[in-house]
Structure 1
Amino acid sequence: MKQGIFILMGVCMLLSLPSIASDKDKNKGVTTVDSLNTVNLNWYNMDPTKDKVLGASVDMAYQELLAGKLPRRKVVVAVIDGGVDIYHQDLEGKIWNNSDEIPDNQLDDDNNGYTDDIHGWNFLGNAQGENVENENYEFVRIINWLSPVFDTVTNPELLTGSLMEDYKLYQKCQSRFEAEVKKYTGQQENIKKFQERVDKTVELLKRSTKTDRPTKDQVKQVLPINDQETSAKKYMLFLFKKGFTFDMLDEMNEHVDKFLTYHLNAELNSRKVIGDNPYDSLEVSYGNSDVKGPRADHGSFVAGIIAANRNNNLGINGIAENVEIMVLRVVPDGDEYDKDVALAIRYAADNGANIINMSFGKGFSPLKKMVDEAIAYADSKGVLLVHAAGNDADNCDEVEHYPTKKFTNQWQAKNWITVGANAQKEGKKLTGVFSNYGQSTVDLFAPGVDVISIFPENKYDLSSGTSFSCPVVSGVAALIWSYYPELTSGQLKELILSSAYVVDKKVLLPDLKNSKRKKVPFQSLSVTGGVVNAYEAIKKAELMRR
């Protein structure tokens, strides 16, 4: 009985990998979209009524409302992310160019503080061209930051004011760190045991299969000569039936190892590559112009949804045609630094971005005031900021995720939209099981489950996450603004929210911890209770013009 439970636990652990790994993990991509399940191709452009798919009704907007019309301006969308493959075939002609900068002359021609920033800026690199790829989590860095102050505190009740607040933060981070280390060391041990069991099983079957990674068909053809081989065959076929693959086991090993080696490593100091003090808001001269970086899968995926060419008979169809992507590399594999986020937002606002897409987030923000000031600055310049709600199945009304439109002084950004993720069908599984939600904090939902987009090196991939519902909204906003440039960012936001396709049904509440999810009204999960809809928004924009 114990062995059976252990086997099942191991299989379940492996099958849960996609939700554990989240949308940030590396994949390999495919060279053509035909290699993927094409039922998912461009579904975010489809219409709820016409196609019976909860897409953003982009195609119908082009066909019925925008046919014969010409866009009236180019819209620049700043993608603050982990880097973008600006040479991808599906982004040809869609990358922002800084016309005031002369390429590769090692001079800051436009005097904006950034040398050779032709397509944006990389805040995760240095002048020698080195880049940061992996980082630890913010709560780990906060512990390192505050340990010298609080490690020797024996009477915390004597602390007052900001010191007491910092001490509470320190304790909260310590608790989170200890819990995460325990979780992943436990997973590592379980995976090790499971790996050993699989290895022994494979070895027993090797007489017949002649391989260390047998297929299901190869195992089926094994003719056991003893009880051990009989048991090994049954065990391996059981695993295959449950969805096991050797690649899945490799990915789980890599995933857990990455958490312990990088994300939860208190000794990691990736920032030394950059050479700045990440907590000094006055030290801003750092980075380089390599906007692709070593890990451009996530940012490329985001950019593709917004801007991939619609008329080149390649890959996917992005949402907005008359759009350019400004690339700002800020997000490592791990938590981004507040200073980088703040500087990237200011860069976007100062260099002509109309929309800022932020498909990232974290649970702690030590320099929140600095980020708040940058958001307020962009807000004051009429930039629309679009943020992913997050993938923790949290109620954002109760659990804070940063950055946020709420400032420390109780004011909030006006031109800000927070986006949850929905699936294709209008049924109980409409919400992404991972998606954060919040009746007062998440504005609306957008397609973000099983989405196909671009992948570096002219490849494509399928993934899920609010990271990918966020650019659907950014793309819709860019589409509308390109035809109706007279709209203010406030009017554009109101158009998008007021035109959402409202779903008056109960759905399964996002939950990553319990297999039995309770049903709740979809309208209770966001401000609008709806899914972004370009068709209805453009109809309203046309009425406003008249």
Structure 2
Amino acid sequence: MKKIRAFLISLLIISALVADAQSVRTYITHTDSIDLRKEWFLLDPELDRVQGVSVERAYKLLEGKPSRTVIVAVMDSGVDIDHEDLKDVIWVNEDEIPGNGVDDDENGYVDDVHGWNFIGNVHADTYELTREYARLRAKYDTDEPRKIRRKEKAEYEYWLMVKDRFQRYKAKSENDYKTCQQQLDSYKAFHKNLKRSIDLIQETYGLEEITPAIVDTIKSTNKDVELAAYFIKVIYQNTTPGISLDEVLDEFEYVIEHNGEVCDHYRTAVEVGYNPDFDPRTLVGDNYEDLEERHYGNNDVKGPDPSHGTSVAGVIAAKRNNGLGIDGIADNVRIMPIRVVPNGDERDKDIANGIYYAVDNGAHIINMSFGKSYSPHKEIVDKAVRYAESKGVLIIHSAGNDKDDNDVDESFPTRFYKNGKEASNWLEVGASTQGTDSSDLIASFSNYGKKTVDFFAPGVDIYSTDPGNEYDSADGTSLSSPVTSGVAAILMSYFPNLTAQDIRNILRESTRRLNGVKVRKPDTLEEVRIDQICIAGGIVNAYEAVRLAMRVSGEKRPE
């Protein structure tokens, strides 16, 4: 694959394609990862020389120790509950009779056998910035200018900021989509021309394979044949010896597929995310203006695209030691799928209700691998977080992938209530890497914050479950959060007397600290100590967390 990467770089130069280097890296990064076990995040820094979280080592400490089943609510885009590596670990509501159309347990949700879907059949939704723009535009961006009253001044200033940011972000998204589509068209054209050239040479000379030696001998008065031979010759001259044309075609098909996915993302952002006139809420069937409404949606916990949630669930709980796919982190756990995240920004009402549902139905941990920059109804989310706090439920949230300082640029939902007080049951997690180079230990995209991000956890090249009994790798703090949720689930399972606050403190205090090691701050690339960009100053570690839990619980700690 490294030969193909070298080939692609040369090919891009030859073709004079307008390609963004970072985008190209994103498309092919997971086909050319470093030579490590796919589940590197389970490994141990000392024994395996990779910055995993020492899961396998932790289980050696727990051999022979009884455990209880821990329920982890995955508030996300949906989960493929039939996946071969997840179907045995999906939560079942034993008080509900499947498919009878009756709310048997009288919790307000009909046939919620495996969880609940608070956004119904919605696939894509707008960004919260767009919704704020639409809401305020109706009031302030009118044909008839009006005088701004004193009590409206703060909101009007906020409107001007929202309007400016919306217009800039929308324009950038439109440009990104245009550039991406041009790049995709170039890839497709190159692939088409190469395939046509190969077919022409093979048909003209009756060849099964075209080698560099053969192409050097081709002389023809047919201009099409001559051009095809020259095209193939240039390819061979600009790549590593030994690469076949079939490999080149296969790699371009891969790049086209993944580049197409990126273009689809940009297209959705333009057509939906930044479209103030788009509103899919009628598909949900709730009264959106009633923020106290609790019972709406349906029991389809997969939804139209459960890719993200399925990956998150796999990291936490994929069935261990079953000979399939991957091993999740926690070994006695059930996943409660709660669908609240569309392709776009989740809404505060749905977040709050997802938390209530999780708590009321027995979840011990809530994993939230999502975030946004605005929270117009933060008070209802705060109320739900307080409810979880009062019931001893731990919330673990991803810090975000914008390489922002969360101390400065808030990412919602957040541990801080509107009154400034802090939830005691909350962990905020940034993303770390395999750490083959200490300066690159923190993921280049990860948000951080000395006061707002607790610690880091693996979030790069994380191999996990994908819908349809598939498996794939992905990057993001969306994976760092479930890594942490998995470790927290181990502690709650084997140390049932520990509270959510105990678990939070243990995970903070047991992080693997890298004393004296400098890491790169994601936004500026400045080299700083890790304790300057997070609270605990380290990376979550299951082995050290178990050792500390044993001490806190008064158990004899193995040496």
Q: Given the two structures, how large is their TM-score scaled by the length of structure 2?
A: 0.84
Deviation at 1:195? 4.9
Distance 1:238 1:8, change over 3 A: farther
2: CA distance, partners of 1:84 / 1:248: 22
Structure 1 counterpart of 2:101: 106
Are 2:15 and 1:52 equivalent residues in the alignment? no
2: CA distance, partners of 1:155 / 1:205: 59
Deviation at 1:330? 0.4
Distance 1:192 1:93, change over 3 A: closer
Task: Kindly indicate whether the alpha-carbon contact (under 8 Å) linking 1:219 and 1:236 is maintained by their aligned counterparts in 2.
Answer: no
Deviation at 1:132? 0.9
2: CA distance, partners of 1:219 / 1:370: 67
Query: Aligned to 2:461, which of 429, 450, 457?
Result: 450
Query: Aligned to 1:377, which of 370, 379, 387?
Result: 387
Opposite residue 401 of structure 1, the aligned amino acid is S
Deviates more, 1:166-175 or 1:362-371: 166-175
Q: Helix, strand or coil: the match of 1:49?
A: helix
2: CA distance, partners of 1:218 / 1:467: 45
Structure 2 counterpart of 1:69: 65
Deviation at 1:142? 1.4
1: CA distance, partners of 2:290 / 2:342: 19
Mapping 1:215-230, distance limit 5 Å = none
Are 2:441 and 1:430 equivalent residues in the alignment? yes
Query: Aligned to 2:77, which of 82, 102, 115?
Result: 82
Query: Aligned to 1:358, which of 368, 384, 392?
Result: 368
Query: Aligned to 1:209, which of 182, 187, 198?
Result: 198
Q: Given the two structures, how large is their TM-score scaled by the length of structure 1?
A: 0.86
Distance 1:278 1:536, change over 3 A: same
Deviations 1:14-70 (CA, angstroms, capped at 9, x unpaired)? 415459x9xxxxx9xx9xxxx99872422221111121221111110111x111111
Structure 1 counterpart of 2:177: 188
Deviations 1:61-95 (CA, angstroms, capped at 9, x unpaired)? 111x1111111x21111110011111211123311
Task: Kindly indicate whether the alpha-carbon contact (under 8 Å) linking 1:279 and 1:367 is maintained by their aligned counterparts in 2.
Answer: no
Distance 1:77 1:165, change over 3 A: farther
Query: Aligned to 2:474, which of 447, 463, 469?
Result: 463
Distance 1:399 1:228, change over 3 A: farther
Distance 1:208 1:83, change over 3 A: same
1: CA distance, partners of 2:548 / 2:96: 39
Deviates more, 1:366-375 or 1:3-12: 3-12
Deviation at 1:166? 3.0
Q: Helix, strand or coil: the match of 2:439?
A: coil
Opposite residue 521 of structure 1, the aligned amino acid is R
Distance 1:317 1:230, change over 3 A: same
Q: Helix, strand or coil: the match of 2:19?
A: helix
**Which residues of structure 1 form unaligned runs of 5+?**
22-26, 126-130, 212-216
Identity among equivalent pairs (%): 42
Are 2:187 and 1:179 equivalent residues in the alignment? no
Task: Kindly indicate whether the alpha-carbon contact (under 8 Å) linking 1:36 and 1:462 is maintained by their aligned counterparts in 2.
Answer: no
Mapping 1:99-178, distance limit 5 Å = 99-125=94-120, 131-152=121-142, 158-161=148-151, 163-178=152-167
Deviation at 1:478? 0.8
Deviation at 1:371? 0.5
Deviations 1:438-473 (CA, angstroms, capped at 9, x unpaired)? 111000111111111111111111111100010111
2: CA distance, partners of 1:152 / 1:5: 52
Are 2:24 and 1:15 equivalent residues in the alignment? yes
Structure 1 counterpart of 2:204: none
Query: Aligned to 2:528, which of 520, 530, 541?
Result: 520
Task: Kindly indicate whether the alpha-carbon contact (under 8 Å) linking 1:7 and 1:194 is maintained by their aligned counterparts in 2.
Answer: no
Task: Kindly indicate whether the alpha-carbon contact (under 8 Å) linking 1:40 and 1:450 is maintained by their aligned counterparts in 2.
Answer: no
Task: Kindly indicate whether the alpha-carbon contact (under 8 Å) linking 2:96 and 2:113 is maintained by their aligned counterparts in 1.
Answer: yes
Deviation at 1:523? 2.1
Task: Kindly indicate whether the alpha-carbon contact (under 8 Å) linking 2:404 and 2:448 is maintained by their aligned counterparts in 1.
Answer: yes
Cα RMSD after superposing both structures: 3.1
Q: Helix, strand or coil: the match of 1:169?
A: helix
Deviations 1:360-386 (CA, angstroms, capped at 9, x unpaired)? 000111111111111111111111110
Distance 1:231 1:419, change over 3 A: farther
Structure 2 counterpart of 1:128: none
Opposite residue 48 of structure 2, the aligned amino acid is D
2: CA distance, partners of 1:238 / 1:524: 49
Equivalent pairs, count? 515
Opposite residue 7 of structure 1, the aligned amino acid is A
2: CA distance, partners of 1:104 / 1:6: 57
Query: Aligned to 2:325, which of 315, 318, 325?
Result: 315
Distance 1:38 1:306, change over 3 A: farther
Distance 1:237 1:298, change over 3 A: farther
Are 2:343 and 1:333 equivalent residues in the alignment? yes
Query: Aligned to 1:271, which of 281, 285, 292?
Result: 281
Distance 1:383 1:465, change over 3 A: same
Distance 1:482 1:197, change over 3 A: closer
Deviates more, 1:143-152 or 1:379-388: 143-152
2: CA distance, partners of 1:329 / 1:18: 28
